[in-house]
Chains A and B, each alone.
Chain A
Amino acid sequence: MFVQLKNVSFHYKNTKELTIQNFSLAIEKGEIVSILGKSGSGKSTILRLIAGLEIPFSGSIHINESIMADDKQFIQPEKRGVGMVFQDYALFPHMTVAENIKFGLKKMSRIQKKERLDEVLALVGLKEYVKRYPYELSGGQQQRVALARAIAPNPSVLLFDEPFSNLDAELQIKIRDELRTILKQTGITSIFVTHDKMDARALADRVVVMEEGTIFRVGEPAEVLNNEFTMSPVPV
């Protein structure tokens, strides 16, 4: 298994209730998994735990056969090789598109950086925008820069937190399809969190439905999403 969470529990500092309870999940290399759930179900917390932005209360997390977190160890987020696309993109406003994308490229010569920049820009189709600042881009373009930035350092796992929530419906469908193509093309193991069943269905190889910090259901999109269960109605 490429990404493995075993009996992970977690609670935020100001609450005693467990946000995540005994959560276990194994993901294969190259798989695209979507975590579906209402707000407050703990789905974003799972991403934060994998990224190393939160420290699990108990349980263990492994990526590519190395321990990321257990009772004895904790690997800091910068050492994990995990990329993340944030809900509001978190593009650094004081840097251009090129600077944003090159930010995570370390230990590379200037020429190598430039090559990598061109590569990922071609992937997301934003070559003409290198010198723009984030506020000079549309929402969809910002989204793609965020993706390019996360892909650039060649992460072993890519995490998406509600990646389409800031886009209008039409753009959402377009970018969703593009995203699936890009992810399959690069073969990066990906996990994305959403509250939208259509997103999950269109993107994922496997869907995990979460409720109150635990897994409610797992399976292929068709089998999980076609059955009736206690979820909010499918948005039209």
Chain B
Amino acid sequence: MKLFRLMKLKMNSWAILSFLITIIIMMPILFITFEFFTRSSENWEHINEYLLNSYLFNTLLILFFTGLLTVFIGVSMAWFISAYDFPLRGFFKWGLILPLAIPPYIGAYTYNGILNYTGVIQSILRNFYQIEVNQKYFNIMSIPGAIFIFSVFLFPYVYLITKNFLENQSASLVENARLLGSNSFEIFFRIVIPISRASIVAGVSLVILEVLNDYGVVKYFGIQTLSTAIFQTWFGMADLGSAIKLSGILMMIVVVILMAEKWLRGRKKYSYSNSKVRPLKPVKLTGYKAWAIFAYISAVFLLSFFIPFIQLVKWTFTTYKQVLSDEFIGLIWNSTFVAFTAAAVIVVIALIIANFSRLFEGRVTNLVSKIVVLGYSIPGAVIAIGVLTLFIALDRQLLIFYQLIGLTPSLVLSLSLSMLIFAFVIRFMAIGYNSIETGFDKIGTTFTEASRTLGMTVTQTFFKVDLKMIKGAVAGGFILVFIEILKELPLTLILQPFNFYTLATKAFQYAGDERIQEAASASILIILISGVSIYIFHKVLEKEPG
């Protein structure tokens, strides 16, 4: 009786909507899991026997060294910035986040354009100094090259999380170690690294998920990895079965990584909101030490942002006349349209589920909110294959209906933009959801309760009180999702309808056609818009404590 009453109390329209949405969001992944075990494919044996090992080896090799390098760069930057004062520290503190505005695939073709035979370095050497270099040393299109690209453009994830931790949480430990007479090296290796383990792990797992999601860099460099293999089996061989199997394997790597993250992080959270935050006071450095650190950080900044950015600006100036046409306006429209639609859907869904899970706390609601954000750790190619499988199956089911209303093509949904937008919703839900959840956390539940004792239902309260109070978080979430979608590549490449291009996919196509300079305008636009996103995220949404 009691259970029945509880169920009746909790089964309101918010709950029903939330469950429905969750199921729909889970469908593609469930499809992959199911088909992974059941579907056979003719090419799979061949792939499994001859190719899979090298796909796996390349993927893991890139993951391992990128992880190592990003930890090295990210942690050292974080420590220098938070513990020492040196020339331009204030600038670098923010400047070192900027590389995140450059998607690695754009970085990849920009660097290739800088280093190749016609690029700025070789031209200068040839024309002014008559030096012909050995092309071998200037070829970035290799596995080490990919590791370099990923490391310089993704290290800010490690830097940011570790820096925030060190700045706000480490003061007493570090100061005590100083008082006990430890020198800088001892402090770094015996105090800083161990205490920031959880933050480092959190940062590097973001890096690894980004690398697993990447298709642009490895494809452009011609490296065979799991994600390029998924594309090849689908586009080259139209072999959905093998693509699903490869996606399943990629998913397993993700699961292992998420489990490893949990285990390595231990029970520590990488940021605990402590009201008594005491910032670490940086020590002023002078003389050669100050300049050595300055030189190291400048070098990283130049490589990871300044040089590629300036190169793209220069190319934009030389090519914008050819590029800026109606077609370019069309690209901007396409990108804006899909990003706007998907971001709007995401915000609405996130509002429904976040409100449901905060008002009806419990194990089930907890699970719902965890499932909804799962998509962010799943590589774009995997989501794309899952969505594709689902939509093709849907089209088969709807075939009779299509014939009834007189549509001739057998594939309607799976050739439409709705498929792409659905995939975006799954992949980027976490960004919108987290932003809105933070908004709800900040206002708490008292206002809602006050409204209900004044005679408003949950839904009336939502529109009159809750929504108005968190509109900042809603807008923030919308913008972050919008921008993330604008620069998205792998999902869009697989799921974009025929003859439909976005800024990102067109830039990538130009680069692939050896027209790197023409890719610059779209790339610069993407970088500038991403810059706005970074600014909003760090200045507006996460107000720095202390």
**Chain A residues with a Cβ under 8 A of chain B:** 13, 51-53, 55, 71-74, 76-78, 80, 82-84, 86, 88, 90, 92-94, 103-104, 106, 149-150, 153, 159
The 4 closest A-B pairs by CB, nearest first: A104-B454, A90-B450, A77-B452, A84-B453
Q: Which of B115-172 contact A (CB under 8 A)?
A: none
Query: CB distance A82 to B446 under 8 Å?
Result: no
Report 28 cross-chain contacts, Cβ distance below 8 Å, ordered by A residue.
A13-B362, A51-B449, A52-B452, A53-B449, A53-B452, A55-B6, A71-B2, A73-B5, A77-B452, A77-B453, A78-B453, A78-B456, A78-B457, A83-B453, A84-B453, A86-B450, A90-B446, A90-B447, A90-B450, A92-B469, A103-B456, A103-B464, A104-B455, A104-B456, A149-B454, A150-B453, A150-B454, A153-B455
Query: CB distance A94 to B9 under 8 Å?
Result: no
Chain A interface mostly: loop
CB proximity of B1 to chain A, nearest CB, Å: 6
Interchain CA distance A151-B361 in the complex, whole Å: 30
Query: CB distance B447 to A92 under 8 Å?
Result: yes
Beyond A51-B449, A103-B464, 19 additional pairs, beta carbon < 8 A: A52-B452, A52-B453, A71-B1, A71-B2, A72-B5, A76-B457, A77-B449, A78-B453, A78-B454, A78-B456, A84-B453, A86-B450, A90-B446, A90-B449, A92-B451, A93-B469, A104-B454, A153-B455, A159-B453
B455 surroundings in chain A (CB, below 8 A)? 78, 104, 106, 153
**Chain B residues with a Cβ under 8 A of chain A:** 1-2, 5-6, 9, 361-362, 446-447, 449-457, 464-465, 468-469
Given A71-B5, A82-B453, answer yes or no on A13-B446 (Cβ-Cβ < 8 Å).
no
B456 surroundings in chain A (CB, below 8 A)? 78, 103-104
B8 — nearest CB in chain A belongs to which residue? Answer: A74
Query: CB distance A94 to B468 under 8 Å?
Result: yes
Given A71-B2, A78-B457, A104-B454, answer yes or no on A86-B449 (Cβ-Cβ < 8 Å).
yes
Interchain CA distance A72-B2 in the complex, whole Å: 7
Interchain CA distance A82-B453 in the complex, whole Å: 6
A93 surroundings in chain B (CB, below 8 A)? 469
Interchain CA distance A159-B449 in the complex, whole Å: 13
CB proximity of B51 to chain A, nearest CB, Å: 50
B12 — nearest CB in chain A belongs to which residue? Answer: A76
Query: CB distance A88 to B446 under 8 Å?
Result: yes
B361 — nearest CB in chain A belongs to which residue? Answer: A13
A149 surroundings in chain B (CB, below 8 A)? 454
Query: CB distance B454 to A86 under 8 Å?
Result: no
Query: CB distance A51 to B361 under 8 Å?
Result: no
B468 surroundings in chain A (CB, below 8 A)? 94
Given A13-B362, A74-B5, A106-B455, answer yes or no on A84-B450 (Cβ-Cβ < 8 Å).
yes
Query: CB distance A103 to B451 under 8 Å?
Result: yes
Query: Which among B5, B447, B452, B469 has the greatest number of chain A C-beta atoms within 10 A?
Result: B452
CB proximity of B447 to chain A, nearest CB, Å: 5
B6 surroundings in chain A (CB, below 8 A)? 55
Query: CB distance A153 to B1 under 8 Å?
Result: no
Interchain CA distance A103-B451 in the complex, whole Å: 8
Query: CB distance A153 to B9 under 8 Å?
Result: no
Query: CB distance A92 to B446 under 8 Å?
Result: no
Given A13-B362, A55-B9, A78-B457, answer yes or no on A92-B465 (Cβ-Cβ < 8 Å).
yes
B445 — nearest CB in chain A belongs to which residue? Answer: A53
